[in-house]
């Protein structure tokens, strides 16, 4: 059961993201059920923006589990979409769906089957290893656990960056692999300010990759004011949130 605080979370995007939300308020065949603060939403939002797909942005608070939203995603997690009346969820599945469905838009996966499979391998690495290390580091309270999480985060990031051809994972083509990690790179400052993360711990192409992600127009257009994220992540930093992610991390289970 989510707490009172989560149910009453600041309920709309701010900054650049607010303008983007406004620009996508008209009815459309594709309804994007989103929560402004959610990094998983951010993944799919980036795919929609990069591919310049027409969509209607609909803000939901996933902690409230309202019936209208549960009808779209019975798990009650954002993001989800309804497309021509049919519903789908899971950020990475949604991104693959957008890639398959909107073939006339800019491709976010390479043509070659082997290269596509290799992209999926690294998406899997980022989704399973890097993302969970990020949440573990954020939620850890004792210093030794924070260090342990941070080391794991740095190692999984370095392993990934060794595969980045530069400037992007595939070289010149920006892809779903870059999109998979971008929302957490954007939020990395939380770990810098509260968990001792430093660019020097990673080295290699990290500073340049991080800079390019933060400057990417799709990332800027979908980002709210930094202060809002700082407020939102307090409950993770104090390990007080009752989100499904936080509960999985506490229980040592895979992320939902």
Ligand X SMILES: N[C@@H](CCC(=O)N[C@@H](CS)C(=O)NCC(=O)O)C(=O)O
Q: Which residues bind ligand X (CB under 6 A)?
A: 2, 35, 38, 40, 62-63, 76-79, 90-92, 243-245, 256
Q: Is 82 left (phi over 0), alpha (psi -120 to 50) or beta?
A: beta
Residues in the chain, total: 256
Tell me whether residue 122 or residue 206 sits nearer to ligand X (CB atom): 122
Ordered strands of the 30-34 beta sheet: 56-59, 30-34, 80-83, 86-89
Minimal distance in Å, beta carbon 35 to ligand X?
6
Q: How far is the CB of 46 from ligand X (least distance, A)?
A: 13
CA–CA separation, 140 vs 148, rounded Å?
Answer: 9
Instruction: Tokens for 154, please give them.
Output: 């740095």
Which one, 132 or 212, has the nearer CB to ligand X?
132
Give whichever of 35 and 119 is closer to ligand X, judged by the CB atom. Answer: 35
Beta strands 86-89 and 80-83 are antiparallel
Residue 73 CB, nearest approach to ligand X (Å):
8
Three-state DSSP at 8 gives coil
Which residue, 64 or 118, has its beta carbon nearer to ligand X?
A: 64
Q: What minimum distance in Å lies between the beta carbon of 32 and ligand X?
A: 12
């Amino acid at each position: 059961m989510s707490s009172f605080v989560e149910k009453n979370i600041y309920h709309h995007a701010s900054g650049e993201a607010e303008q983007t939300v406004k620009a996508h308020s008209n009815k459309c065949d594709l309804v994007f059920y989103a929560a402004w603060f959610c990094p998983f939403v951010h993944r799919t939002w980036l795919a929609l923006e990069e591919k310049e797909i027409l969509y209607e942005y609909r803000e939901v608070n996933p902690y409230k589990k309202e019936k209208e939203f549960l009808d779209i995603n019975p798990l009650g997690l954002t993001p989800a979409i309804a497309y021509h009346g049919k519903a789908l969820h899971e950020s990475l599945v949604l991104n693959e769906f957008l890639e398959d469905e909107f073939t006339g838009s800019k491709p976010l996966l390479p043509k070659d089957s082997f290269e596509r499979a290799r992209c999926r391998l690294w998406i899997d690495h980022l989704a399973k290893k890097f993302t969970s290390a990020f949440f573990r580091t954020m939620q850890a309270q004792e210093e030794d656990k924070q260090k342990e999480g941070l080391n794991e985060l740095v190692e999984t990031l370095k392993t990934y960056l060794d595969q980045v051809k530069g400037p992007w994972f595939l070289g010149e083509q920006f892809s779903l692999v870059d999109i998979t990690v971008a929302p957490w790179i954007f939020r990395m400052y939380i770990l810098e300010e509260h968990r001792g993360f430093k660019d020097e711990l990673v080295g290699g192409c990290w500073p340049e990759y991080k800079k390019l992600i933060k400057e990417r127009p799709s990332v800027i257009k979908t980002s709210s004011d930094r202060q809002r994220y700082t407020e939102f992540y307090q409950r993770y930093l104090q390990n007080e949130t009752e989100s499904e992610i936080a509960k999985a991390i506490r229980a040592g289970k895979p992320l939902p």
